[in-house]
Amino acid sequence: MTTPTDHVLLDLTDGIATITFNRPERRNAMSPAMVERLGELLAQTEADPAVRVLVITGAGRAFCSGGDVQQFDADGGEGGGATEVDPAAVAEQLRHQEMTVGRIHAFAKPVIAALPGAAAGAGLGFALAADLRIGTPRTVVATAFASIALSGDFGVAWLLERLVGPATARELMFLGPRLDGPACLDLGLLNRLVPEEELEVRTRELAEQLAAGSAGTLASIKRNLLEAPGQTLAESMAAEVPRHKACGLTADHVEAARAFVEKRPPVFTR
The 10s digit of each residue's pLDDT in 179-210 is 999 999 999 999 999 999 999 999 999 999 99
Inside any domain, residue 198: yes
pLDDT digits (tens, 9 = 90+) for 10-69: 999 999 999 999 999 999 999 999 999 999 999 999 999 999 999 999 999 999 998 877
Given a cut of 50, whether residue 2 has pLDDT beyond it is no
**Which structural domain, as residue segments, surrounds residue 19?**
8-211
> DSSP state, 189?
S
Q: What are phi and psi of 55, to 5 degrees?
A: -115, 135
Mean pLDDT across 156-184: 96
**Cα 34 to Cα 81: distance, rounded to the nearest angstrom:** 22
Residues 197 and 75 reside in one and the same domain: yes
Residues 94 and 201 reside in one and the same domain: yes
For the entire predicted model, the pTM comes to 0.93
Residues 62 and 117 sit within 8 Å (Cβ to Cβ): yes
Decide: residue 266, CB within 10 A, 0-12 exposed, 13-18 middle, 19+ buried. middle
Q: How many domains does the chain have?
A: 2
Residues 68 and 198 reside in one and the same domain: yes
Inside any domain, residue 175: yes
Residues with Cβ within 8 Å of 148's Cβ and at least 6 positions away in sequence, in order, are 69, 72
